[in-house]
Amino acid sequence: MNMHRIGLRTVVGALVAGLGGAAFVAWAGVQPSAQQQRASGFIQGTVTGPSGPEAGVWVIAETNQTPTKLVKIVVTDDQGRYVLPEMPNATYDIWVRGYGLADSRPVKGKPGDTVALKAVKASSPAEAAKVYPANYWYSMLEVPAKSEFPGKGADVNGIPPLFQSQSQFMDQLKQGCQLCHQLGNQITRTLDHMKPLGFKTSLEAWDYRVKTGQRGPEMDGMMNRLGPAAKKMYADWTDRIAKGEVPAHTPPRPRGVERNIVVTLWDWGNETSYMHDEVSTTKAKPTMNANGPVYAVDAAHGKYIAVNMNENSAYEIPIPTRDDPKAMRSRFPQTQIKPSNFWGQQIVHSGVSDPHNPMFDSKGRLWSTSTVSQGVIPDWCKDAKLNKYAAYFPATNPSNRHASFFDAKTGKHELLYTCYGTHHLQFSEDAEEKVFFSGGGPTIPWVNVKVYDQTRDEKQAVGWCPTVIDTNGDGKITKPWNEPVGGGRSQSEGGGGGALGKFDPKLDTRVNIGSYGVIVSPTDHSVWAASTSYPGRIARLDIGKNPPESCITEMYTIPKDRADTHFGPRGIDVDRNGVIWMALSGSGGFASFDRRKCKVFKGGEIVEGQQCNEGWSFYPLKDGVNMKGTTINADFHYYNWVDQFNTSGLGENTPIANGSGSDSLLALNTKSGDYVTLRVPYPMGFYSRGLDGRIDDPKSGWRGRGLYANYGTNFLWHIEGGKGTKSKLVRFQVRPDPLAK
């Protein structure tokens, strides 16, 4: 018997007793009845400005009269007309925001009303620019010129020698400084809130600023990694903005299909939640959980957070651990170099279960990667006599995260040890329904869900393979193999590391590819992982029929002749044809990789991953919003997703990137290379991480489909509205026209 399950029942029972019966009903995930229909009321009207109808501006309606705050946003048509659909019965504040305008004064309205709105022309470029997306402001940052690379050191040009090119520096700049929050929004592009501290120069203020709060040690460490030139760069940026400089580009108003988009937002969590990825359904079957709650994880407090959209309500579900949480340490620093500018000495993030990236399985159970225990390596993870995977490649370090799932039907959690670290997760579509994880350091780990359901024994269900490529060309992996320098047994969650040691062409080669994102191909069940190491690489794992011995890895690196302009894959996804899609967080835009174009899969030439450059295609952003003095786009993509089943209404197999730096989602037309921008204009600061789409009713057209994302910034007080603002669940719907009800 697995004793941890008895312990879990005890923990869950105690939690339920503490929360009360009403909370348990919410846990049970009660699905809406057939009578629970979405609201059908609507508000309509026109928007006029000094010169007549205002086309392509946003009409925003918000209310606090629903159980959780609700916001609805639409765009006006060519004649300035608008329709706000699916409006619950409440009184709303309705107002106008648009490029070239100042925000209008809110007026009251409720479903059934016709409300005429007056747009207000911005009095100056500075007033108009207040509502520009963050990346337009961030594009004003002047990075070191190409001629200043390679870096010559802190005492020469302020750039460390590890940066060999401007693109490598920018990759670190964007992935390092925008990994946790947006840059270019109002709070980051100014130092106004720090004036009471009395700094003599903006350089002094920036030196202090990056040390503040719980993430100060990480921000300061990243700034030191970038070198002294970085602080001077940021100080110059805020100085120029303080003197009145505004972005060089004016964002276009929504046009074409962008005017058909309906955005709905629900508040969830609390004012210090750190909401990571959301999930609404399974990837393979987008009608699963139709009309059900949408979930996210609050990593800062160790909880699932959910929204019931039919009731416009939000609730939370604590995630337990095997260890006593009082004896565990939080991943988040519990001391500060300098007090927070907003929270002082208060520690606001202290959760220990540290959940990440929720995903549904085919039975509707909610899986995530979470910390089950700390400092423990189960014997079966390292003892060759107890486990075939341990015999092949034993675990040597405790993993930071493991696996867990929550069954809404029973209100119970189950916690599973994994031998290697976990981060993102994705399910296969085969009969075993394996769930694969990124973050496994030198391995790609998984849980065989079918085996676990049959045995409830994690030792039998957990597996892993080291990433070893077939460089001796015999079609299989055999020991001994070439090793990375230093052995490379890190449990890193992110990019791979470890250069290759002495290469013997007669041997296969283990590589520390690293894995940040992970996806499973629907065509052949191969597992693909993305590494954030510059310029970027991906791996394909075929586990074969008898893993781990049958596992074979392939590695593909961004072509060397394209690396200056295309770099930084973080997210990874796949279309129904098996083509891999990656948003390039460093350079912006998409890259795709089509293995069907490859001819070489083994032999010594594959050791650098340059054997199939013909498999790569690149789709840069076309908005021209580049970092000052460069050809690199200012936007940052935290992750990406492929809409395989047209849940959005934009077409099957549509790649969509998180415009985490631009308050948007970016949907790629793969034929034209153009992007549709799904903007969230209010509240500013829409920083998204994961996203997905669901079909609630395939027969009801646009009303039964939607994309889902959330405000995933670490720092909710950076969002428009400031301290006290909550994260929001965001739904995007695409109507056939701007006036569809």
**54-110 pLDDT, tens digit each:** 999 999 999 999 999 999 999 999 999 999 999 999 999 999 999 999 999 999 999
pLDDT tens digits along 572-624? 999 999 999 999 999 999 999 999 999 999 999 999 999 999 999 999 999 99
pLDDT mean over 715-721: 97
∠ CA 555-557-560, nearest 5°, is 150
- pLDDT surpassing 60 at residue 490: no
Closest Cα partner for 495 from 554, 539, 465, 445? Answer: 539
pLDDT mean over 697-701: 96
Relative to beta strand 425-427, strand 434-437 is: antiparallel
Predicted confidence at residue 25, as pLDDT, reads 31
pLDDT tens digits along 218-235? 999 999 999 999 999 999
Q: CA-to-CA distance for 589 and 633, rounded, in angstroms?
A: 8
- pLDDT surpassing 50 at residue 723: yes
Task: Give me the half-sphere count of Cα atoms (radius 13 Å) on the Cβ side of residue 237.
Answer: 28
pLDDT tens digits along 154-197? 899 999 999 999 999 999 999 999 999 999 999 999 999 999 99
pTM: 0.94
pLDDT mean over 318-342: 96
Q: CA-to-CA distance for 160 and 150, rounded, in angstroms?
A: 8
Predicted confidence at residue 38, as pLDDT, reads 76
Contact 738, 81 (CB under 8 A): yes
DSSP 262-310: EEEEEEES-TT--EEEEE-S-SS-TTTTTT--EEEEETTTTEEEEEETT
Share of the chain above pLDDT 90, in %: 91
Question: Alpha-carbon dihedral of residues 506, 512, 513, 519, nearest 10 degrees?
Answer: 110
pLDDT tens digits along 364-383? 999 999 999 999 999 999 99
- pLDDT surpassing 60 at residue 713: yes
Share of the chain above pLDDT 70, in %: 93
Relative to beta strand 468-469, strand 508-510 is: antiparallel
Compute how many other C-beta atoms are within 10 angstroms of the C-beta atom of residue 293: 26
Compute how many other C-beta atoms are within 10 angstroms of the C-beta atom of residue 418: 26
Rg (alpha carbons) of the chain, rounded to whole number: 25
Confidence tier at 40 by pLDDT (50, 70, 90): confident
Contact 459, 380 (CB under 8 A): yes
Compute how many other C-beta atoms are within 10 angstroms of the C-beta atom of residue 155: 7
pLDDT mean over 464-485: 95
Name every residue whose Cβ is closer than 8 Å to that of residue 191 and which is 6 or more positions away in sequence. 199, 202, 205, 206, 209, 238, 242
Confidence tier at 9 by pLDDT (50, 70, 90): very low
Q: CA-to-CA distance for 286 and 309, rounded, in angstroms?
A: 17
pLDDT mean over 28-36: 40
- pLDDT surpassing 50 at residue 511: yes
Closest Cα partner for 571 from 527, 531, 540, 612? Answer: 531
Predicted confidence at residue 496, as pLDDT, reads 46
Predicted confidence at residue 335, as pLDDT, reads 95
Contact 663, 681 (CB under 8 A): yes
Q: All domains of the chain, ordered by start, with CATH?
A: 43-129 (2.60.40.1120), 256-734 (2.130.10.10)
Q: CA-to-CA distance for 251 and 255, rounded, in angstroms?
A: 12
| Biggest CA pair distance of the chain | 80
- pLDDT surpassing 80 at residue 31: no
Helix (H) or strand (E) holding 114: strand 114-118
Predicted confidence at residue 486, as pLDDT, reads 52
Predicted confidence at residue 500, as pLDDT, reads 67
pLDDT tens digits along 248-275? 999 999 999 999 999 999 999 999 999 9
- The whole-chain average pLDDT of the chain stands at 92
Contact 691, 726 (CB under 8 A): no
